[in-house]
Structure 1
Amino acid sequence: MRVAVVGSGPSGVYSAQSLVQLDPTVLVDVLDRLPSPYGLVRYGVAPDHEKIKSLQNNLRTVLEHERVRFLGGVQVGEGGVPAARLRELYHAVVYCVGAATDRRLGIPGEDLPGSFSATEFVSWYSAHPDTVEDGFVLGARSAVVIGVGNVAVDVTRILARGAAELRPTDMPQAALTTLEASRVTDIHMVGRRGPSQARFTTKELRELGSLPDAEVLVDADELAPDPGYVDPSSLPAAQRRNVEVLRGWAARPPGDLPRRIRLRFFQRPVEILAENGRVGAVRFERTQPDGQGGVTGTGRYEEIEAQLVLRSVGYHGVPLEGLPFDPATGTVPQLAGRVLREGVVAPGEYVAGWIKRGPTGVIGSNRPCAKETVLSLLEDAPVLERKVVPDDALTALRTEGIKPVDWAGWQAIERAEAELGSSLGRSVVKLPDWESLLSAARTAET
């Protein structure tokens, strides 16, 4: 049986891993739009999180399996290989394409110069080839990060780190140079609900307190409206630990470090205000608990100065041409991973990861999600294998003008990034654009 997995991030690689572990004869092609594998592990995990980034080594083992083949630079859907064509080339197709866009705030001023989604900022400092640098950081004195999840903590931490801490990472040189010149002294991370409802993990939160050039400031009086902050004993363990960390910071006297991280809660953004045609401040309405797990406005407002705004309020899936899509949930309708078309199982089509369950969980959540899908696929295998498919889909793709970046091409990219780092007196430095990535991959052909 020949299976295509679309997407080489964790959900895609875990799907390939389950397939080869559970079926001793299956052949798997892992397709990705990018010429490089690993998805959000490469382009979403912060460069200073080396331990998490080392997960690439585990994913690499799967992609180097003798029955798994990486085919990068292959667009599936609009402008590329149609989903219908993939169904002709393989017995089954598993889509693991993630949630590709950010949720919006829906407030005036959201599109002012200087206002970005956190994903745009992450893509910039992670060298995603679709990124276009457009005024990040340089010149900003005050930054507002809207959101209190792990991504919000990541971008806050990167803004607060000194150049000496970022230089050993694989951050692209242009982003490092910009951050070295950063004038940001105050970073406000703001949530509309209370501290006991924040989505960050305690480990990520504590990292903010260990930065050598930044102090964390928390106002205990501001957090007191949250019953879970006043008495955390009844909270789940994760939230209770978060509150304990915040309590410790609130009890500390302020220091004199060059940067300040101000954690704010019960503040709902209502407008991003302009100054000289760019972001100048964010207007917030004070909120209070509504007694039902949410918040309600109080009619009291506050403005926080900011020349840079990073919005981190969640993700949403986008439709993939040729697949059904539920715009309300941002997912593909499915049953145990089987794609449903108008409520009926579509033979040979499957989903895993965020496009299956929505943007929830951590990297490890993708493993059981992928396994459930693969078990459904293998249960359907006796029927799927009756379909006649080409002996080698790659040959068919090349005949149709598709030129995938194979594993040797990816290894050539890795060598080029190591050489670039060496030339800059750093370790590995990522290539930041399509041209340099594809140029490096082509060296493998010669």
Structure 2
Amino acid sequence: MSRPLRVAVVGSGPAGIYASDLLMKSGQDVAIDLFEMMPAPFGLIRYGVAPDHPRIKGIVMSLHKVMEKPELRFIGNVAVGRDVTVEELAPFYDAIVFSTGAYGDRDLDIPGADLPEHRGAGEFVGFYDGNPNFQRDWDLSAEKVAVIGVGNVALDIARVLAKTGDELHVTEIPDNVYASLKKNQATEVHVFGRRGPAQAKFTPLELKELSHSPTIEVIVDPEDIIYDEAGEKARRNSKTTDLVCQVLEGYAMADRTDAPHKLYIHFLESPVEILGEDGHVTGLKTERQELTGTGQVTGTGKFTEWPVQAVYRAVGYKSDPIDGVPFDSTRNVIPNDGGHVLDPDTGAPIAGLYCTGWIKRGPVGLIGNTKSDAKETTEMLIGDWTSGALTPAEHPEQDAIIDFLREKNIDFTSWAGWHRLDAAEKALGEKEGRERHKIVEWDDMVAHARYKDGDHDTTAG
């Protein structure tokens, strides 16, 4: 066939961009449309990482380079499954890859979880990252706060809660976020993990960064630094695990300081109830655990009540289903065999549909896992195309999908439009002595990034 392989990738976070990059590097002539429900690209890189994370700039730069390639076309402000059905999209492409990630919060099934001051990590991250799908202000009147979870998201939340608004104002946070953080009353933040330090999912650099703020003292109880046989083995087998344990040991041995904000990291404490009075959070009840030798824990029957006024759960994200695509509501993933979307009734692949990233395997792992996911999926896709297993698109012309979106009166955005939005955010930041001032109102983003004739003229097709 003389024309390029036409692929729609749904979701412009790292998973979707890595899949696009691998398709372009496959040796196959390809033309890719990268669909995104938000007006701006980059998914959780833009809307899921704490604003004071310096290394994110490097990741965004590498993603930018991929997005600039002429074989790739960005089409934003289009929610596949809502604005455009999968059935409507299919005739324009030989294959569709779903890489929509995970934004929702997993539930915490303990008594008191319905109290209003118990919130999910994703909600708070969406707030402080200026995601227009989330609320614009946040009640930060709690002086003592609990964060449940021992991964990097829990660290991000704890660090943002423990810092001052002025410390974070130098980042790209919007005005509404700064206004809320300025009123933050938290002086104690308690992070709780059910297992021991060797089982924590922190990465060493993120853990070290906690103490970089002059307003934060990190406190670890030396009695929580316990390793069983599995923990010692994990330290021997993983440099990352060993480094995490070393950092925690350093915090446990450090002298106390007069920093105004205390950030406690507790291990071997399993939350069993969120305590409340008059409909509001008054504490968190945990049960002390002991290691079993296998890295798992068992309860001791000893309970502690921690006086806190707010509880955040950082126990994992979960993906949302896409209308018209099979979904495993137990695992919160698209059923798949490593790349192909599977029919839940027959277990057979659905021709032309693929998935990658967290919507494929669940919200675990780091960037390296996302890249290996994309490699597995794209190799399946290319193999199906070269073997003739895919049904060719009915309307493979480059402009066919653009004409269709216009006919549906969808106000979509473009990559050139992202450059206009990017420039506007940087200009706002420059006025304030910051690198960027994030624009958060949906209509304002669309106004800057809206598709204009000629925006996609450099795209291969």
TM-score (norm 1): 0.93
Q: What RMSD over aligned residues (CA atoms) do the two structures have, in Å?
A: 2.2
How far the C-alpha of 1:385 sits from its partner, in A, is 5.9
Structure 1: which amino acid aligns with 2:120? S
* Range 292-301 or range 189-198, more displaced: 292-301
Question: Is 1:357–2:361 an aligned residue pair?
Answer: yes
Which residue of structure 1 aligns with residue 122 of structure 2?
119
> Could you tell me whether the CA contact under 8 Å between 2:11 and 2:36 is conserved in 1?
yes
Aligned to 2:435: 427
Q: Distance in 1 between matches of 2:214 and 2:148?
A: 24
Report if the CA contact (8 A) 2:284-2:307 is conserved: yes
Pick one of 133, 141, 144 that aligns with 1:142.
144
Matching residue's letter, 2:357: G
CA shift, 1:99, in A, is 2.1
Match of 1:305 in 2: 307
Q: Tell me the CA shift for residue 344 of structure 1.
A: 0.9
Deviation at 1:45, TM superposition (A): 1.8
User: How many residues are treated as equivalent by the alignment?
Assistant: 444
**Structure 2, unpaired ranges of 5+:** 455-461
Residue of structure 1 in register with 2:395 after alignment: 389
Determine if contact 1:352/1:373 at 8 Å carries over to the other structure: yes
Q: What one-letter code is carried by the residue in structure 2 that aligns with 1:222?
A: D
Question: Equivalent residue of 1:408, what SS?
Answer: helix
Give, in angstroms, the shift of residue 76 of structure 1. Answer: 0.8
1:92 counterpart = 2:95:
yes
Comparing 101-110 with 257-266, greater Cα deviation is found at: 101-110
Task: Tell me which moved more, 396-405 or 257-266.
Answer: 396-405
Contact 2:33 2:72 in 1 (8 A): yes
The equivalent of 1:63 in structure 2 is 67
| Matched position secondary structure for 1:256 | coil
In the other structure, the counterpart of 1:399 is 407
Following superposition, the deviation at residue 442 of structure 1 comes to: 4.3
Output the amino acid matched with 1:109. Answer: G
d(CA) in 2 for partners of 1:27, 1:442: 21
CA distance in 2 between counterparts of 1:226 and 1:304 reads: 26
AA of the residue aligned to 1:104: D
Query: Matches of 2:179 and 2:419 in 1, distance apart?
Result: 27
Once residues 375 and 82 of structure 1 are traced to their aligned partners in structure 2, the CA distance between those partners, rounded to angstroms, is 26
Query: How much does 1:339 deviate?
Result: 1.3
Q: Does residue 371 in structure 1 map to residue 375 in structure 2? A: yes
Give the drift of 1:24: 4.8
Q: Deviations over 1:54-108 (max 9, x none)?
A: 311211122221111100000111x321111121221110000112321111112
Residues 206 and 245 in structure 1, CA contact (< 8 A), matched pair in contact too: yes
What's the offset of the Cα at 1:419?
3.1
Please give the residue correspondences for 1:8-157 in structure 2 after superposition, counting only pairs within 5 Å.
8-77=12-81, 79-137=82-140, 139-157=141-159
Secondary structure of the 2:25 match is helix
> Aligned partners of 1:198, 1:228: CA distance in 2, in Å?
13
- Structure 1 residue runs without a partner (length 5+): none
| Aligned residue type for 1:388 | E
1:222-276, CA deviations, whole angstroms, 9 ceiling, x for partnerless residues?
A: 3347567789864632222222222222122211111111110111111112244
| 1:204, distance to aligned residue in structure 2 (A) | 1.1
CA distance in 1, matches of 2:244, 2:111: 32
Aligned mates of 1:352, 1:97 — CA distance in 2? 8
TM-score with structure 2 setting the length: 0.90
Deviations 1:273-317 (CA, angstroms, capped at 9, x unpaired):
224432221111112223443222222211112222111011222
CA contact 1:229–1:243 (8 Å) conserved in 2: no
Cα displacement string for residues 181-213 of structure 1 (whole angstroms, at most 9, x for unaligned residues) = 322111101111111111111111111122211
Partners of 1:160 and 1:259 within 8 A in 2 = yes
Give distance in 2, aligned partners of 1:229 and 1:208: 23
What SS does the aligned partner of 1:50 have?
A: coil
Question: How far off its partner does 1:390 sit?
Answer: 4.2
> Are residues 370 and 440 of structure 1, via their aligned partners in 2, closer, same or farther at CA, if it must alter by over 3 Å?
same
